[in-house]
Amino acid sequence: MKQPHYFYAVPLPWQTQEKIEEWISEVSGTLPFQRWVHPEDLHITLAFLGGTDANSLKRSIDRIHELRKGFSFSLEIKKLGTFGNTASPRILWTDVSSSSSLSELRDSVYSACLQEGYELDKRPFNPHITIARKWKGDGKFNYSMLEPFFLSEPLDFRVSEFVLYRTHPDRLPKYEVVEKFILNQR
């Protein structure tokens, strides 16, 4: 069995998961991607740790519990986008509204993980929610294919916690919550 991977992320409230699942059912009927994300696995990644030993993981959890985590906040989703080759993208995602609170949370978690010696992704933070992987269409993908599926009204949700996930690639949902971190209420 492969070593499990771990990552810190913002999970989506179940009501938001259900709404995105409805959205996915519309999109998946038209856009042929190979794998669609299970609704319970929808999240915004803050820091991907990969495989790790128990002591390092425990230290990162303790350090993050010590953080001043800030207050709960709201985010919005409205559009779709892709990562990878423009003609054959590897990731289909939903956008996440720009949020200083989300950026500050990510920076705090990211910094705590770096202090514990984790080698993290160096690309700029681009918050998104992955909903599908690997284009498998007969023809080339074109961004204009996404536009009919943009939401007319933003889907908003409240972020009141973030979590540490453990991956289980051989089951659905794939992610198991190992630790929860509650944000303060205003």
Going by DSSP bridges, is the β-strand pair 128-135/33-36 parallel, antiparallel, or unpaired? antiparallel
Cα 23 versus chain centre, distance:
17
The helix/strand/coil state of 77 is: strand
Domains and CATH numbers, the chain: 6-182 (3.90.1140.10)
pLDDT digits (tens, 9 = 90+) for 8-52: 999 999 999 999 999 999 999 899 999 999 999 999 999 999 999
Cα 134 versus chain centre, distance:
17
Nearest to 126 by CA among 83, 76, 63: 83
Q: Is the pTM of this model over 0.75?
A: yes
Q: Is 133's pLDDT higher than 80?
A: yes
pLDDT digits (tens, 9 = 90+) for 71-122: 899 999 999 999 999 999 999 999 999 999 999 999 999 999 999 999 999 9
Does residue 3 contact residue 51 with C-beta atoms inside 8 Å? yes
Catalytic residues: 43, 128
